[in-house]
């Protein structure tokens, strides 16, 4: 173990403002003489994490995490004791004299220190090449084409990795960095042919930890090459884990805390240009999906995230993946829909910062964005399609952390989709019971066997609609009678009538079994399999009387759902009084019709 004089440790702690230290990572508010916030060491909804300046310590009443400034850095940043002491001592301008040093700890600490020094020095070297070397002319031209000035490049220490490995080796020899150190850092890579630079002819973006130390790089390819990735990140090392780092977070965290909001972009250029344009609360991932660690880091500082991804299918999918990670933490997730073909950088260059600010102000809550983005892909005029999409929406709603948020979302989505709120309640309850993998769509319906999809489809049908379908398939007279009925509104308004719709609206001859089978082959595979399954089940008895009863029951369901939809609309805030009165009258009329029909159905025939 490291031995530092006790009086030196006391001096370092006395010089450290623990509120300022913890406040860089946790959003704190004053509570009397103390400060409180959400604990960074466990998930919680209400703040139980207390910082006490009087004792220069912290304590969580939820998980009992506690300690001083050293312990916070050790537990939160993964530092060793001596690394924490040295970091705070350096900040306070206090010199550390070590009396005893553990051999293994010394080796580990020296290795981490070597990697940190290597990354900082090579970042400076890359930067000098970018600014002055003729080799980097192409990189400078690229920056100009993106509107990135030399001042911006200097501010973010952008650099250029040369194509030649010889130049890198000469630099390493001059700075006395061994090949092993370069391999450990990911600057060099090795294969069967030998050792080679990991980054060649790339624009280099330094990646920093929360304290601003360079710990890795992201390199952008300058020449189009279908065989190489456009962006290449450093590999995992002793000081870098991409799942735990957000680009720009070291600069953005104070601004995120102040604004209560984080802007999340897809790339480094978007992030740095947003900072330069006056949006310093912007960050980006490191070429990987959002992780729980990223979400928790933002949640400690803010209550809201605005996703600024490209307006294409890839951007839509990325937004969905981010929502599934962010929503369970309690963060409000919004989406700023960029114009087609634009990213934050290009939008600001063309239209200025005010245009991006307006985009942020128009940002939609993710659920509204999900509905709008899907509207062009689905026929929302069909109840069948709306109910199918409601199942997708239910999976998103089920991810929301609080019951209040889920209830509010269900009311809003029910109105937008024109379905009963009770139906959405049932779908959300069902979605909440699904395994996490299923809720994330890892087993899409289109890759399922038709038989499995058929079983799911049958299970999703309204019980009276399913009975009527069985009766119509079993008895040609029933189907002939059914086609003469004029209340097909049931098929539009009642969920779970997909199979009944295919039989009722089909044009095949019900008395010709061959015609029935031919018709089934024209249907989607899961519907064909489902109806074939019903055809081969035990014959449904009861004839036309049973069919009439089932049809009346379906009509009753239709009226009840219409009433629920109107009641949901009536709950909306800010509704016009006159419109509210009209809705109330319609609800009363429907209630009377429902009562009358219930009595008719229960009356013996």
Domain ranges, ordered by start, for the chain: 6-92, 103-240, 244-372, 378-443, 450-602
Burial readout 540-572 (b: 16 or more C-beta within 10 A, e: otherwise): bebeeebbbbbbbbbbbbbbbbbbbbbbbbeee
Instruction: Report pLDDT for 444.
Output: 36
Instruction: Report pLDDT for 267.
Output: 86
Cβ proximity of 214 and 207 under 8 Å: yes
Instruction: Report pLDDT for 565.
Output: 74
Exposed/middle/buried for residue 327 (C-beta within 10 Å: 0-12, 13-18, 19+): buried
In the CATH scheme, what architecture does the domain 6-92 have? Alpha-Beta Complex (3.90)
Beta pairing partners, 67? 58
Taking 70 as the pLDDT cut, the residues of the chain under it are 1-3, 6, 97-106, 225-226, 287-289, 380, 435-451, 512-515, 517-518, 521-522, 536, 538, 602-605
CATH placement of domain 450-602: 1.10.860
Q: What whole-number distance in Å separates Cα of residue 309 and Cα of residue 343? A: 7
Q: What whole-number distance in Å separates Cα of residue 362 and Cα of residue 568? A: 25
Cβ proximity of 333 and 323 under 8 Å: yes
Instruction: Report pLDDT for 438.
Output: 38
Q: What class has domain 244-372?
A: alpha beta
Output the CA angle 87-90-96, nearest 5 degrees.
Answer: 90
450-602 has the same fold as 6-92: no
Q: What whole-number distance in Å separates Cα of residue 266 and Cα of residue 283? A: 9
Instruction: Report pLDDT for 446.
Output: 35
C-alpha torsion sign, points 96, 102, 105, 110: positive
Q: What whole-number distance in Å separates Cα of residue 465 and Cα of residue 467? A: 5
Backbone angles phi and psi of 561, in degrees to 5: -70, -35
- Strand order, beta sheet including 159-161: 159-161, 202-208, 214-221, 231-233
Assigned token pair, 575: 């509704």
Cβ proximity of 39 and 75 under 8 Å: no
Instruction: Report pLDDT for 448.
Output: 46
CATH superfamily of the 103-240 domain: DNA primase, catalytic core, N-terminal domain (3.90.980.10)
Radius of gyration (Cα) for the chain, nearest Å? 32
Within 10 Å of residue 446's Cβ, how many Cβ atoms? 7
Backbone angles phi and psi of 127, in degrees to 5: -65, -40
Cβ proximity of 217 and 247 under 8 Å: no
Instruction: Report pLDDT for 175.
Output: 94
């Amino acid at each position: 173990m490291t031995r530092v004089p006790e009086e030196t440790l006391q001096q370092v702690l006395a010089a450290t403002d623990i509120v300022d230290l913890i406040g860089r990572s946790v959003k704190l508010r004053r509570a009397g003489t103390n400060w409180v916030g959400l604990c960074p060491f466990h998930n919680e909804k209400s703040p139980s994490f207390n910082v006490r300046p009087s004792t220069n310590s912290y304590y969580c009443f939820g998980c009992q995490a506690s300690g001083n400034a050293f312990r916070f850095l050790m537990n939160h940043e993964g530092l060793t004791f001596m690394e924490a002491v040295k970091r705070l001592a350096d900040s306070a301008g206090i010199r550390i004299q070590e009396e005893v040093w553990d051999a293994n700890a010394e080796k580990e600490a020296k290795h981490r220190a070597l990697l940190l020094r290597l990354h900082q020095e090579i970042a400076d070297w890359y930067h000098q090449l970018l600014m002055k070397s003729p080799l980097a002319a192409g990189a400078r031209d690229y920056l100009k084409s993106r509107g990135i000035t030399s001042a911006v490049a200097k501010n973010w220490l952008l650099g250029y990795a040369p194509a030649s490995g010889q130049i890198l080796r000469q630099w390493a020899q001059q700075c006395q960095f061994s090949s092993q150190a370069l391999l450990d850092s990911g600057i060099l890579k090795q294969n069967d042919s030998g050792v080679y630079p990991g980054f060649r002819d790339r624009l280099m973006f330094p990646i920093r930890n929360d304290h601003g130390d360079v710990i890795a790089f992201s390199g952008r390819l300058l020449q189009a090459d279908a065989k190489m990735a456009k962006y290449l990140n450093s590999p995992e090392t002793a000081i870098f884990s991409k799942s735990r780092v957000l680009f720009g977070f070291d600069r953005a965290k104070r601004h995120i805390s102040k604004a209560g909001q984080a802007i999340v972009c897809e790339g480094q250029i978007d992030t740095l240009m947003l900072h330069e344009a006056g949006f310093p609360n912007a960050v980006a991932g490191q070429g990987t999906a959002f992780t729980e660690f990223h979400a928790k880091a933002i949640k400690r500082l803010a209550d809201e995230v605005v996703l600024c991804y490209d307006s294409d299918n890839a951007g839509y999918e990325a937004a969905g993946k981010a929502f599934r990670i962010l929503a369970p933490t309690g963060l409000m997730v919004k989406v700023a829909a960029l114009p087609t073909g634009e990213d934050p950088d290009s939008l600001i260059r063309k239209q200025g910062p005010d245009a991006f600010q307006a985009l942020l102000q128009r940002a939609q809550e993710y659920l509204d964005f999900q509905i709008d983005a899907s509207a062009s892909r689905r026929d929302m005029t069909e109840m069948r399609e709306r109910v199918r999409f409601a199942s997708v929406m239910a999976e998103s709603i089920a991810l929301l952390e609080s019951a209040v948020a889920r209830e509010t979302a269900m009311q809003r989505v029910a109105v937008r989709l024109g379905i009963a709120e009770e139906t959405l309640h049932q779908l959300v309850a069902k979605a909440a019971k699904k395994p996490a993998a299923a809720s994330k769509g890892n087993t899409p319906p289109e890759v399922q066997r038709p038989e499995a999809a058929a079983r799911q489809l049958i299970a999703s049908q309204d019980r009276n609609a399913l009975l009527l379908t069985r009766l119509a398939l079993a008895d040609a007279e029933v189907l002939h009678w059914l086609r003469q009925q004029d209340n097909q509104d049931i098929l539009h308004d009642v969920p779970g009538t997909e199979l009944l719709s295919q039989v009722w609206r089909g044009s095949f001859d019900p008395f010709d079994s061959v015609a029935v089978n031919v018709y089934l082959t024209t249907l989607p595979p899961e519907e064909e399999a489902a109806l074939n399954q019903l055809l081969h089940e035990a014959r449904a008895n009861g004839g036309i009387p049973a069919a009439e009863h089932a049809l009346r029951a379906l009509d009753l369901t239709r009226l009840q759902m219409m009433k629920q939809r109107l009641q949901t609309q009536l709950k909306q805030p800010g509704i016009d009084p006159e419109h509210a009165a009209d809705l109330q009258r319609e609800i009363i009329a429907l209630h009377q019709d429902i009562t009358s029909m219930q009595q008719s159905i229960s009356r013996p025939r």
